[in-house]
């Protein structure tokens, strides 16, 4: 499973539409979640609509919270989307086998078996989350909370049985040609999440769309690289076979 978690506090203002970028991500099997983080004032109608639209296009969830709720919110979103992704895959199988309907329509015994499979896969499937952090000037006072939330997320992921990795990007990058900069490459090591953003120089522009594309490139590059093993959504036939085996 692959996810992008975008943490921002406002509207994009440079480059391609972030909604389109998120739609591209979904097309490539990557779910996009968005957290709008605000401490004072509001995020504005435009900003909150964009946040909702990006998540919708990316097949994920969106929330607008203050920094105290940040850690808990991204935990919940991540967990929920992982379950959703698994559930969608399992539901497809269930339909094939039992003919009708969603989980809610199954009789208790079958439902219990299906949920067992979902829980099992939720815990054991390999998972990758790319965190994409808005580092525009207004985000500066919130970055400490963001870093704490990332550490907390990494701690939860570390407890999973399946392989879990995170990577951290911030945008915009150091030069105007760089849409997003990689702060930490794929790791499953919580202790790596320390002073991520200490050397950041804040800049004004918010190229959310191009930054999402940059992360997609990173995902693609890594898939070509191939030494990280196959992730669940890369091969639909393989995946369906595996789940089918569980259900029957």
Partner 1 sequence: MGMSSNPPYPLGTVITGKWRGNRYVIQRLLGRGANGTVYLVQRQGRREYYALKIGYDALDLQSEINVLTSLQSRRKRNEYRAQRESPLSSYLLEADDYREDDNKPFYVMRYVQGRPLHHFLSKNGPDWLGLVGLKLLDKLRRLHECGFVFGDLKPENVMVSDVGEAELIDFGGASPMGRSVKQFTEWHDRGFWNAGSRTGDEAYDLFAFAVLCLRLLNEPGLKSAALQLPQTRSVDELLKLARSLPDKKLSSWICHALKGGFNGSAEAMEIWKNHIYGSRKARPEHMATPRWLKNAFGLSLFMLAFTIYWLLRF
Does 163 participate in binding partner 1 (rule CB under 8 A)?
Answer: no
Three-state SS letters, 162-202: CCEEEEEEEECCCCCCCCCEEEEEEECCHHHCCCCCCCCCC
* Residue 159 vs 224, nearer CB to partner 1: 159
Which of residues 3, 12, 31, 87 is near partner 1 by CB under 8 A? 87
Does 151 participate in binding partner 1 (rule CB under 8 A)?
Answer: yes
Task: Using alpha carbons, list the distances in angstroms from residue 172 to 8, 24, 28, 72, 183.
Answer: 12, 20, 23, 26, 12
* Residue 13 vs 88, nearer CB to partner 1: 88
Does 45 participate in binding partner 1 (rule CB under 8 A)?
Answer: no
Structure tokens, 201: 């120089």
Query: Which of the ranges 21-29, 35-43, 93-101, 151-159 carries the binding residues for partner 1, by CB under 8 A?
Result: 151-159
Does 56 participate in binding partner 1 (rule CB under 8 A)?
Answer: no
- Nearest distance, CB of residue 126 and partner 1, angstroms: 14
Q: What angle do CA 63, 4, 36 make, to 5 degrees?
A: 25
* Residue 72 vs 176, nearer CB to partner 1: 72
* Residue 146 vs 216, nearer CB to partner 1: 146
Spatial contact of 107 and 94, defined as CB atoms under 8 Å apart:
no
Spatial contact of 37 and 8, defined as CB atoms under 8 Å apart:
yes
Q: Which residues contact 191 (CB under 8 A, 6 or more apart)?
A: none
Which of residues 13, 42, 88, 112 is near partner 1 by CB under 8 A? 112
Which of residues 39, 42, 76, 235 is near partner 1 by CB under 8 A? 76
Does 115 participate in binding partner 1 (rule CB under 8 A)?
Answer: yes
- Interface size with partner 1, residues (CB under 8 A): 29
DSSP-assigned beta bridge partners for residue 166: 129, 187
């Amino acid at each position: 499973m692959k996810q992008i978690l975008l943490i921002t506090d406002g509207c994009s203002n440079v480059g391609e539409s972030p909604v389109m970028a998120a739609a591209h991500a979904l097309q490539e099997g990557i779910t996009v979640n968005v957290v709008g983080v605000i401490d004072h004032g509001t995020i504005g109608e435009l900003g909150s609509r964009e946040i909702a639209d990006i998540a919708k296009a990316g097949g994920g969830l969106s929330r607008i919270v203050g920094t105290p709720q940040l850690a808990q919110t991204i935990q919940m979103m991540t967990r929920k989307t992982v379950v959703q992704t698994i559930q969608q895959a399992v539901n497809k199988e269930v339909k094939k086998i039992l003919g009708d309907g969603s989980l809610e329509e199954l009789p208790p015994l079958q439902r219990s078996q299906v949920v067992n499979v979902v829980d099992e896969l939720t815990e054991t499937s390999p998972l990758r989350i790319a965190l994409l952090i808005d580092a525009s000037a207004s985000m500066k006072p919130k970055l400490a909370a963001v870093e704490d939330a990332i550490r907390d997320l990494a701690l939860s992921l570390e407890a999973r049985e399946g392989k879990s990795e995170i990577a951290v990007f911030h945008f915009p990058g150091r030069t105007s040609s760089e849409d997003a900069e990689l702060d930490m490459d794929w790791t499953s090591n919580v202790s790596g999440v320390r002073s991520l953003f200490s050397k950041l120089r804040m800049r004004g522009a918010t190229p959310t769309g191009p930054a999402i594309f940059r992360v997609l490139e990173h995902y693609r590059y890594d898939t070509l690289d191939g030494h990280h093993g196959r992730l669940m959504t890369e091969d639909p036939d393989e995946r369906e076979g595996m789940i089918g085996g569980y259900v029957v």
